[in-house]
Amino acid sequence: MLEPRRHLTHAGYIAMAGVLLLLGGCGINNIPSYKQQANAAWSQVLNEYQRRTDLVPNLVATVKGYAAHEASVLEAVTEARAKVSQTRIPPDILTNPKAFQAFEQNQATLSGALSRLMVVTENYPNLKADQNFLALQAQLEGTENRIAVARRDYILAVQQYDTELVTIPGRWYHSLFYGGYQPIQNFTISEQAQQAPTVKF
């Protein structure tokens, strides 16, 4: 009598393994996987924005040496950088529209201020010939390119994740297993508005 029970137990395990494999193949793990991809992409966005923020003090100091009377432009860049640096990023920023919008707006303000600063430098031939400035300008342009790539990757990751939450079968899995997962915020300010213009010397 023990043999049939043992046989049924083995059959039950095999059936359960089959169901799990079937579910795994049907995308049951897509939602947490896509969320992790979006989180990783967001971390890269933050890294690139931080790189830009770190360049600002040296850039301002170099420009100030040649164009000290451009006080309003230099002050705008300094203030925008301070605001970005002081912005507290809450743990739920990706699902908190207000916090995400504030972060995005602060970064856009810094982009605009840097844009104006780079335009002002056109009026100072000696500054444009300064090796330190040229190196900083090249670093800034490279960072702006990396920001654009990081933003694009984040936008695509969020699109994939958010789409999975609202389409079948992802919507079913979300309802049954991942109810705590919320849609993630995406950028609304255009990439062009985020970038400082390329200044040709």
Is pLDDT above 90 for 61?
A: yes
pLDDT tens, position by position, 15-27: 665 555 555 557 8
Q: Is residue 130 pLDDT above 60, yes or no?
A: yes
Annotate 134-163 with DSSP letters as a single string.
HHHHHHHHHHHHHHHHHHHHHHHHHHHHHH
Amino acid at 22: L
**CA 120/CA 113 separation, integer angstroms:** 11
Confidence category of residue 190, pLDDT binned at 50, 70, 90: low
Is the Cβ–Cβ distance between 58 and 130 less than 8 Å? Answer: no
Give per-residue pLDDT as tens, 63-121: 999 998 899 999 999 999 999 999 999 999 999 999 999 999 999 999 999 999 999 99
| Residue the block writes with tokens 């000696």 | 126
Give the contacts of 15 (CB within 8 A, at least 6 positions apart): none
CA quadruple 198, 110, 88, 34: dihedral positive or negative? Answer: negative
The pLDDT score that the predictor gives to residue 170 is 94
Percent of the chain exceeding pLDDT 70 equals 82
Q: What is the pLDDT of residue 188?
A: 87
Residue 186 phi, psi (nearest 5): -125, 160
- Looking at the predicted structure, is the pLDDT value of residue 195 above 80? no
Q: According to the model, what pLDDT value does residue 14 have?
A: 65
In 3D space, the residue among 33, 40, 51 whose CA is nearest the CA of residue 153 turns out to be 40
Q: What is the mean pLDDT of the chain?
A: 87
How many other CB atoms are found less than 10 A from the CB of residue 93? 20
3-state secondary structure 163-194: HHHHCCCHHHHHHHCCCCCCCCCCCCCCHHHH
The whole-number average pLDDT for the span 145-153 is 97
DSSP 92: T
Better-predicted residue by pLDDT, 192 or 180:
180
pTM, two decimal places: 0.81
